[in-house]
């Protein structure tokens, strides 16, 4: 056996040994694989290049006080209860000024700064630091990070908790983009939407070969072209998989799986809210109960059940709706 293959087998084996028996991802690899494949299928057409160019100079500039004012209006308008002033005054939330246009930075760094926010738990206290880039796009960034903050637990988040927490942040951020659009910031809303879903596509693409490795290893104990053909009914993709094995790349599938699923769930929640504003109660309830609820209770709180057929249909429908919007929305 080639050295690289052996290394990958060892990694997968260790991973499986150290994962609990009722682990959701490992026990539902096919479902997560299907989620990722669907993202690739739907979203690949939406982004012609791997990383799209951003015209940073076209993003509307906005001062911090005006942004804070709009964020408060957003919460009020959508019946979300959050005392932003209080959290700023007591230092829990800090906006870190970043001279976005004057500091010489590569585009990659600019992109990172555009979306940078940190929610940090230390000694039982949670602090939020959000980049103040002086841009309108800081608003959805802040809404996303504050959503993480709203339900901070006293202890470290479990992966399930992380999953629903991220899905809430995505949902609120998407609702906020509609608010931005209503104020005339169409291009900024569109840019943020593209950032969100191009990042989803990137994660799904990274996860796919890793799922394939896990699936084949679990099923056959070995990864080979014959096994690949047997299981996936095609040989397409095997060469790519082989390349990844040679490079020794296997991505952390839990993190990627939960990120992909969280974006599905967030998109679904956004459209449920779109359909009927009273869904905000479900969102608020999930915030309230996330820290003492298990996976299935969290699903129930947002009108889902078990991530089987009917639920999957709902999630797929939401993502495909979003995909149409990405393709057709000139604004
Ligand atoms: Zn997040």
Q: Which residues have a Cβ under 8 Å from the Cβ of 87 and sit 6 or more positions away?
A: 93, 128, 149
Task: List, in order of start, the domains of the chain with CATH numbers.
Answer: 3-328 (1.10.1370.30)
- Residues lining ion ligand 1 (Cβ < 5 A) are 166, 169
pLDDT the model gives residue 122: 78
258 Cα to the center of ligand 1, angstroms: 11
Per-residue pLDDT of the chain (331 residues; tens, 9 = 90+): 678 888 889 889 888 888 888 888 999 999 999 999 999 999 998 886 667 788 999 999 999 999 999 999 999 999 998 999 999 998 899 999 988 888 777 888 888 889 988 888 777 788 899 999 999 999 999 999 999 999 888 788 888 899 999 999 999 999 999 999 999 999 999 999 999 999 999 999 999 999 999 999 999 999 999 999 999 988 788 998 988 888 877 778 889 999 999 999 999 999 999 999 999 999 999 999 999 999 999 999 999 998 889 999 999 999 999 999 998 875 4
Q: Which residues have a Cβ under 8 Å from the Cβ of 132 and sit 6 or more positions away?
A: 64, 67, 95, 96, 97, 98, 138
145 Cα to the center of ligand 1, angstroms: 6
250 Cα to the center of ligand 1, angstroms: 23
φ, ψ of residue 118 in degrees (nearest 5) = -125, 130
166 Cα to the center of ligand 1, angstroms: 5
CA distances from 102 to 95, 108, 115, 235 (A): 18, 15, 18, 51
1 Cα to the center of ligand 1, angstroms: 41
62 Cα to the center of ligand 1, angstroms: 23
CA 214, CA 77: separation in Å to the nearest integer? Answer: 46
pTM over 0.85: yes
């Amino acid at each position: 056996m080639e050295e690289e293959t052996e290394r990958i087998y060892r990694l997968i084996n260790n991973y499986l040994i150290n994962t609990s028996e009722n682990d959701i991802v490992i026990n539902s690899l096919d479902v997560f694989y299907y989620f990722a494949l669907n993202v690739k299928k739907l979203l690949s057409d939406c982004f012609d290049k791997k990383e799209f160019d951003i015209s940073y100079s076209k993003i509307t500039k906005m001062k911090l006080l005006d942004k804070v004012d709009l964020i408060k209006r957003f919460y009020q308008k959508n019946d979300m209860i959050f005392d932003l002033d209080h959290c700023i005054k007591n230092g829990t939330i800090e906006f870190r000024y970043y001279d976005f246009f004057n500091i010489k930075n590569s585009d990659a760094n600019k992109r990172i700064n555009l979306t940078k926010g940190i929610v940090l738990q230390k000694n039982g206290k949670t602090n939020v630091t959000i980049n103040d880039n002086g841009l309108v796009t800081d608003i959805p960034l802040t809404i996303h990070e504050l959503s993480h903050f709203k339900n901070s637990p006293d202890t470290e988040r479990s992966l399930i908790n992380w999953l629903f927490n991220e899905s809430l942040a995505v949902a609120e951020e998407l609702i906020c983009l509609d608010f931005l659009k209503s104020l005339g910031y169409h291009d900024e809303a569109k840019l943020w939407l593209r950032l969100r879903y191009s990042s989803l596509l990137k994660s799904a693409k990274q996860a796919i070969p890793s799922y394939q490795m896990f699936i084949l290893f679990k099923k056959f104990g070995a990864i080979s072209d014959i096994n690949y053909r047997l299981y996936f009914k095609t040989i397409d993709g095997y060469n790519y998989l082989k390349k990844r094995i040679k490079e020794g790349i296997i991505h952390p599938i839990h993190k990627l799986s939960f990120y992909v699923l969280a974006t599905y769930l967030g998109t679904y929640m956004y459209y449920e809210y779109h359909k009927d504003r009273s869904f905000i109660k479900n969102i608020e309830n999930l915030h309230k109960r996330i820290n003492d609820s298990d996976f299935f209770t969290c699903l129930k709180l947002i009108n889902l059940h078990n991530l089987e057929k009917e639920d999957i249909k709902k999630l797929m429908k939401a993502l495909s709706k979003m995909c149409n919007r990405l393709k057709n929305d000139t604004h």
